[in-house]
Structure 1
């Protein structure tokens, strides 16, 4: 479903341990998708604190650029060791992390980043980098957190919004590629006003509401189950706020998937409150889906 013909899996590197973990995950993702892997290092010239002037073309510039090239070369070698039959290319791209990664995402099938790093990727889990990359990337973003695991299901949270439906499709694809189960979680709470003046029913049945939420989940899953008959699906309707439910469930998952926004997202926010919370607190790798381009199953 996230098919862009010939598009690579792109992984950001900076020489950190987290980035090398991301490279190994990205290599496996590329192999599963039958796609090449592109290793990218964002090279931003360090400005002087005193003058805020960067002098390029100097011996220092050459040394820093050589160091950047070495980071990419080591990452490419790590990818080759992870998957020897994978086509891997590497590049040092001038610019700060966010604009470089957003530009790379336009031609990528998947963007993979580590959770902590050095240089341009250091603040990845701090809003200045994580929020704009996950919210504005033109492909799904896989944030490698904690230890990558081969067991456990893919976990996805849905709420009936268009983006959660797209996240659900991505999660089905991932579960199929990984040969594992899919757990679809829909967390709900009793009705609350969405805007001033909204009227709520004077009385409602909690059992009836729960049945409605069960029906919403079943209807959301049905079409994707037909498209991915190889994926065993488990439904989980949970009463409670979505973010803590997903964070708790993520402990047993090999991948957690959420949409960048949900039904209750306010206009102008880069990330919804749920995706923002899960980005910071999930206990394993996390994929955030902003939209998808229609494609086909391999």
Structure 2
């Protein structure tokens, strides 16, 4: 049995937009879509299943309308939504969530459940962001952020696969800056400081892309090396992409520290859906 793509929803418009996106994604990858409606146990003194019939039926109908061929199932869970989705994510192709839910304040840029799940899930988490007209694949591009080291390896593989099933181009972005204090001494010969403190940016991209590019030899890949803020570089690149992919490190520490500043920024501000892919 194929591992499903899991979409969490609570009946809010943002969560139903995530269901729309997830249905198309499931068809692209030829995997089943499993819809999860989770209600905290203390909500309405443990709401009975019939209270979820309306929202579940609406979500199922919406998924089928947008992707008639999708293989669809649903489930109602009486537990904390973040915990329920994290549990489902242990055996999921990916988790798809809206950027806000029914219980989130209007001023929040990202819902609390989506943030908690993106920080702790064992599988890729896609937070569906942006206006409807910007979620329909019109740009023909997937953007992936590449950092120095192994933290982006799984994210790059995920991004190549997304570009492949979408029949679109991949843009790999690496932002770099000279480490603070690198020139506290008189400047060394040209090029020395960069080599002494980190690999050349172009080499970082070449090394990260080499393996996946061999697996997808027909893919169109472009490279962007940006001197400056990774946050700004990724947000700028996402303006012309259908999906932004970023990696995340090992799941350790306290919530709020696990995603890193760059991932927090793109999850809150990106104009397109964002995939957070844990290192594996």
Which TM bucket (shorter chain)? 0.7 to 0.9
Question: Is 1:89 aligned to residue 67 of structure 2?
Answer: no
- Measured in 2, the distance between the counterparts of 1:20 and 1:136 equals 22
- Residue 240 (1) aligns with residue 236 (2): no
CA root-mean-square deviation: 2.8
> Segments of 4+ in structure 1 off by > 6 A?
120-124, 198-201
SS at match of 1:90: strand
Provide, for residues 221-242 of structure 1, a one-character-per-residue CA deviation record: whole Å limited to 9, x for no partner.
1111111112100000001010
Partner of 2:18: 22
Unaligned runs of 5+ in 1: 48-53, 293-298
Q: Is residue 254 from structure 1 mapped to residue 242 from structure 2 by the alignment?
A: yes
1:288 equivalent in alignment to 2:276: yes
Report what 1:40 is aligned to.
Answer: 36
Counterpart CA distance in 2 for 1:138 and 1:277 is 21
**Counterpart residue number, 2:163:** 175
Aligned residue in 2 for 1:159: 147
Which deviates more from structure 2 when the two are superposed, residues 36-45 or residues 234-243? Answer: 36-45
Report the alpha carbon displacement of residue 131 of structure 1 after superposing the two structures with TM: 3.3
Question: Matches of 2:234 and 2:170 in 1, distance apart?
Answer: 14
**TM-aligned CA deviation for residue 25 of structure 1:** 0.8
Aligned pair count reads 270
Unaligned 5+ segments in structure 2 are: none
**TM-score, normalization by structure 2:** 0.87
TM-score, scaled to structure 1: 0.82
- SS of residue paired to 2:92: coil
Tell me: CA distance 1:277–1:239, structure 2 relative to 1, closer, same or farther (3 Å): same
1:1-298 matches, cutoff 5 A: 6-46=2-42, 55-56=45-46, 61-62=47-48, 65-119=49-103, 125-126=109-110, 128-147=112-131, 148-152=135-139, 153-192=141-180, 202-204=186-188, 209=194, 212-261=200-249, 269-292=257-280
Q: Find the aligned partners of 2:223 and 2:95 in 1 and give their Cα distance.
A: 28
Cα distance per residue 1:146-182 (max 9 Å; x no partner)? 1313122100111123221111111001000111000
In structure 2, relative to structure 1, the CA distance for the partners of 1:137 and 1:124 (3 Å cut) is farther
Q: Contact 2:82–2:113 (CA<8 Å) still a contact in 1?
A: yes
Q: Could you report, residue by residue, the CA deviation over 1:175-216 in whole angstroms, capped at 9, with x for unpaired residues?
A: 0011100000000011236xxxx9977534665639811122
Contact 1:140 1:291 in 2 (8 A): no
Cα offset for 1:128? 4.0
